[in-house]
Structure 1
């Protein structure tokens, strides 16, 4: 729909004269009449009561006038915003989970610095539920966490999928022998911090696996840690098996020091999402767009075997 025609309708309703409207909009009366007829055809309704000797809007036009004014006002606000200085500057309060730290955060920060040199960044690294609470309290402007946030005031967008596997030090469990699942369940299982979505899902999987393997649930041991580095070191020391994305140990898998255990079911993938307030400032949207591109580039170029971009 041509917003110029809507603007013409609003102006005509105010001035109540085709000639006066033509002068105000620097057009001819014939052009104004043509715009109104085109708008009527698109709306499939008559706006001008042409049976009246005096200028008069139809009842339906009077009803639509408020909506038309809202469209015109919104268009003018959009044009005004577009004319504002485009430089992105100010302070961005960014919160990310550690999974992002161990993947594409460095690339993201480099691109933010290159694209927006006047942007200052305050970085917070924490668990998803803490980041969500701080975003809701407007202590953070943009967060990248596990899963989105269910809120009318917050926009959530999935960025990447991190497939999770059973990771162990080579030789810890003999994959050639039968009963691998039973032996895994009798080994400490390492996962993310307690209360996180991956930890809760792992608890459910372990309970089902233990039930199928006829192993008392109290005999299973799940060790939770918010530190990916700590989990990786414990696996390296032979402490237990980790349920983490293979991305975090790609080098150790490639070298043969770590292996992926062929145990089913595989823990569900981690979906990393970006969340920001729906009325966020331009600098936040600029940072969000850079995050979207940085994550996609990382997935496509650096770690296509271990991470998948949503877009």
Structure 2
């Protein structure tokens, strides 16, 4: 069985879009569709319900998704174990976006140190655009950033999909208000750096909500920041409402400091990709496989929530 096709199926189930999956895996939607068709032929069952315009897995697809993910994880673990048979060590120049720092980075570094104790991590935290430039120039070995890199020199693979929610300080707005959209739009809307995929998607949604509410778009205030810490602090100060992954503020949500607003539509999930050179060394490839395993372990509760919502 082609593991690549299983990886495509898992990514498609996470993103719920052939087009988004194609972007994440740097393929065409037609290629993604062909992989899914090939997998369905091999399994002799339909995985995606094509009778409706909205993306939906078939009952068989839902029941097989977790098994497919387990196979993908097992394949990564197998490659990781094979590499461990050879001494793996050296300096790993790792670049990550801040969203990763606020979620599964510590889990990854801990896993990496335990699995490959002779790898020394040299960490860089920066924006996706800077990480891309530094990876292409040879200054980094791995870049974990928003979406993949379209280059023949780079191999990109989707490593995580973060559901995005509308987050506000408790008490700032009533979630039950009948005019919730208008109340949100009267506040600054916080999002990631200008020009990034999350910012562009959120801006489109905000403008649509404004038209529906009869609010002039020039009155909308969108505050962009590449810093997750800055966005979270502005929410904490009651400055505005943020469209960010709930995963990075899970502690504040659990404590009741922040709340999720039931505003629809929700912004699309943020796709995080792992990028490395096509000619990467065995050490770098081992570290990349370890990242997939560590991220999968960390995000498993979130993935189960997505599967239950399908």
Query: What is the CA–CA distance in structure 2 between the aligned matches of 1:297 and 1:307, rounded to whole Å?
Result: 15
> Matched residue of 2:157: which SS?
strand
Secondary structure of 2:134 counterpart: helix
Match of 1:167 in 2: 167
Secondary structure class of the residue paired with 2:158: strand
Q: 1:239 to 1:199 in 2, by over 3 A?
A: same
CA distance in 1, matches of 2:214, 2:263: 16
Q: Aligned pair in 2 of structure 1 residues 274, 265: CA closer, same or farther (>3 Å)? A: same
Structure 2 partner of 1:93: 93
Q: Cα–Cα, structure 1 residues 307 and 253, in superposed 2: closer, same or farther, change >3 Å? A: farther
| Structure 1 counterpart of 2:118 | 118
> Residue in 2 aligned with 1:197?
197
Summarize deviations over 1:48-91 as a string: whole Å, max 9, x none.
xxxxxxxxxxxxxxxxxxxxxxxxxxxxxxxxxx99x8211221
Would you say 1:254 and 2:254 are equivalent positions?
A: yes
Alpha-carbon distance change, 292 to 196 in structure 1, aligned in 2, over 3 angstroms: same
Q: CA RMSD in A?
A: 2.1
Distance 1:189 1:299 in 2: 26
How far did 1:176 drift? Answer: 2.5
1:139 shift after superposition: 1.2
What are the residue-to-residue correspondences of 1:1-311 with 2, within 5 Å?
Answer: 86-300=86-300
* TM-score, normalised via structure 2 length: 0.69
Q: What stretches of structure 1 move > 3 A for 4+ residues in a row? A: 303-308
Q: Distance in 2 between matches of 1:177 and 1:141?
A: 49
Count of paired positions: 226
Question: Residues of 2 paired with 1:173 and 1:159: CA distance?
Answer: 34
The Cα shift of 1:115 comes to 1.7
Give yes or no for contact 1:135–1:141 (8 Å, CA) kept in 2.
yes
Q: Which residue of 2 aligns with 1:70?
A: none
Q: CA, structure 1 residues 172+305, in 2 after alignment: closer, same or farther (shift >3 Å)?
A: farther
Query: Per the alignment, in what secondary structure is the counterpart of residue 276 of structure 1?
Result: strand
Q: Which 10-residue stretch deviates more, 263-272 or 149-158? A: 149-158
Q: Which deviations, in whole Å up to 9, do the C-alpha atoms of 1:244-287 show, x marking residues without a partner?
A: 00111111111222111111111110011111111111111010
Indicate the SS of the match to 1:238. Answer: coil
- Asked which structure has the greater CA Rg, the reply is 1
Paired residue secondary structure (1:280): coil
Aligned with 1:139: secondary structure? coil
DSSP-derived class of the 2:109 partner: helix
